[in-house]
Chains A and B, each alone.
Chain A
Amino acid sequence: MDFLGQIGRSILQFLTALGQASLFLLLALLTKPRLKSFRLLLKQFYVVGVLSLPIIVFAGFFVGMVLGLQGYTVLVKFGAESALGQLIALSLVRELGPVLGGLLFAGRACSALTAEIALLKTTEQLDSLRLLGVDPIHRVIAPRLWAGFFCLPLLVIIFNMVAIYGGYWVSVDWLGIDSGSFWASMHHSVDFREDIINGIIKSMVFAIAVTWVAVYQGYVAVPTSEGIGYATTRTVVYASLMILALDFILTAVMFTGLK
């Protein structure tokens, strides 16, 4: 009996949290934008997007270089090293770009979002906003959500391009693959709609999932210094796991029919 009760309680708790989080998301997204909220959004674009740029560029460059080196050692055994461009571009655009970009984003930007909102709650600043007649969901939550939604796809696009150039540098300038065949094998295999647009759609889905998790965890954090720590940890763990699980589902839907 205890066992059944435990299952029931945890399921009910999970469903309650899911319902709360969904209502919270709806409330935050259905706010009427005002001219003043544009400046708030701009600030969040800077914090969430621009400040994540260095880590994205750095990671992208090294991921591309490793792909080039590792792909070369495998492909050269089959005499197919001219397909290296294809290998690098397809694996980046379809999988590695959205997933690694999303994981980095969860670690760099989402953890900061959660900690910031949880600290605002702990120091009772959200409550004082409410006392002033300002809805904290409109003023604090909504701009962070929108900024997260837009910044991750942009960061993933930059990640992909930097990584492809990193791979280009290793394979062409270092390993001596012909520059023409590098780009040509890419052109033949990468399709704009099937690969690039699908990869961007993937990153949009990840962006919605991880920003939502981050903002919600910050908002419902236990208002103590320990609570902030727990909330930040939970954000990074949940966001990373969601990215990996969603990636499997999206890949199964998008790419199984393709060659």
Chain B
Amino acid sequence: MRYGALEITVGLFIVVAIVAFSALAFQVSGLTTFYERDNGYQVSAYFEEIGGLKTRSRVTIAGVQIGRVHQIELDATSFSAQVELQIFSQYKDMIPIDSSASIVTAGLIGDNYIVIEPGAESDAIQPGGVIEETHSAIILERLIGQLIFNQNNETPKQ
């Protein structure tokens, strides 16, 4: 069966729209949950202060992304933030058990993300394990407040 030029152009229009939609989904929003669900494993860490950390924030070692923040919850007994990190499966058995995690900021006003400092042990953190040593986010306002407070304390002595 032959199709008219009208049908072909309308078909082309719809195909272009579908291609643009999948480009929006995958390239722009980075929709990867379809195949990432079983990819990777989870490790948790407890922070006293997470600042502006959000789910989907990066987890890096030496600046290379090795995973992302999967879930953030308040731990009811210690009142600290329990952060679940999803580590990509290609980095399995690579993170030493005595590694430390810290929350840092990209630039002055950038996003918060997690940096993992590898430790020296040869044993690796297993899926579901906990990163024991953590450094909380640095809150800029609090730092400035401390600075002003210290200066005010110093002035009467002079």
Which A residues contact B (CB, under 8 angstroms)?
42-43, 45-46, 49-50, 53, 78-80, 83, 89, 93, 154-155, 157-158, 160-162, 164, 183, 186-188, 190-192, 195-196, 259
Contacts and interface: CB of A to CB of B under 8 A. Distances in A.
A186 B28 contact: yes
**Chain A facing B: main interface SS:** helix
Interface string B1-41: 00000110110111011001101110111110000000000
Given A93-B28, A157-B17, A192-B25, 8 more contacts: A42-B6, A49-B13, A50-B12, A160-B28, A186-B28, A192-B29, A196-B25, A196-B28
Interface of B: 6-7, 9-10, 12-14, 16-17, 20-21, 23-25, 27-31, 54, 56-58, 107-111
For B6, B16, B24, B30, the residue with the greatest tally of chain A CB atoms inside 10 Å of its CB is: B24
B24 A196 contact: yes
Given A161-B23, A161-B24, A195 B29 contact: yes
Nearest to A158: B20
B66 to A, nearest CB: 15
B28 A164 contact: yes
A236 B111 CA distance: 42
12 contacts: A42-B10, A46-B6, A50-B12, A80-B107, A89-B28, A157-B17, A161-B20, A161-B24, A162-B20, A188-B30, A188-B57, A188-B111
B23 A188 contact: no
B13 A93 contact: no
A192 B31 contact: yes
**Chain B facing A: main interface SS:** helix
Contacts of A188: 30, 56-58, 111
Contacts of A79: 107-108
Nearest to B68: A188
A43 B6 CA distance: 7
A157 B21 contact: yes
B20 A45 contact: no
A49 B12 CA distance: 11
Nearest to A165: B23
A160 B22 CA distance: 12
A183 B20 contact: no
A259 B109 CA distance: 15
Contacts of A89: 28
